[in-house]
Amino acid sequence: WIGGSDGFLVNSQKVLKDLLTVIRKVNPQIVILLNPDDYHKDHKKAYVIGIDAVELASRHAYVEYGEAVDIPLILISDGLNLLSHPDIVVDISKVYKDKKNALLESYESQLDRDLLQFSDGLSTTRGARMKVDHAEAFNIGKIPSRPMLSGKSTQALLDLV
């Protein structure tokens, strides 16, 4: 996590500035954040840092970290605290085995067999509802200072589905 250790994420000015710089450099069309209601302390902190960085990235200030960007779509991911009524469910069957498992396995805290089994079961269950092998659920996130979705947000969402 931007040079940090798994399990020891710190919400600091340095981490926020580093993430702000990355967001402005990459100019993503979609940002996926962890569920703020997740049980894991790193996940909760990552959401706060992420939403703060996205909001700062959209402001025409802090030019030393790059030019302002407008991120059309923010998605909040499912986690161990499941989204009971997700806004969107996305078919991930084509990337599940190679990319999803590799991502989970890259974090030491996620190597627990129970967590990998849970992730597989959840994506299979979400997928069954769509009649595909694997799917992930998301809620649509909003920047606190911009609670309305823009036309760009709507188009990015339509492109995703």
pLDDT digits (tens, 9 = 90+) for 52-66: 999 999 888 888 999
Percent of the chain scoring above 90 in pLDDT: 39
Which residue matches tokens 């702000």?
A: 20
Average pLDDT over residues 7-15: 85
CB-based contacts of 148, cutoff 8 Å, min separation 6: 142
Residue 87 pLDDT grade (very low, low, confident, very high; cuts 50, 70, 90): very high
Distance CA 36, CA 10 (A): 15
Q: 143 phi and psi, to 5 degrees?
A: -75, 130
Distance CA 22, CA 81 (A): 28
> Does the model's pTM come out above 0.75?
yes
118-154 pLDDT, tens per residue? 888 888 999 999 999 999 999 999 887 665 555 565 5
Distance CA 88, CA 86 (A): 6
Residue 90's DSSP bridge partners are 136
CA–CA distances in Å: residue 127 to residues 44, 94, 98, 130, 134: 26, 12, 17, 5, 4
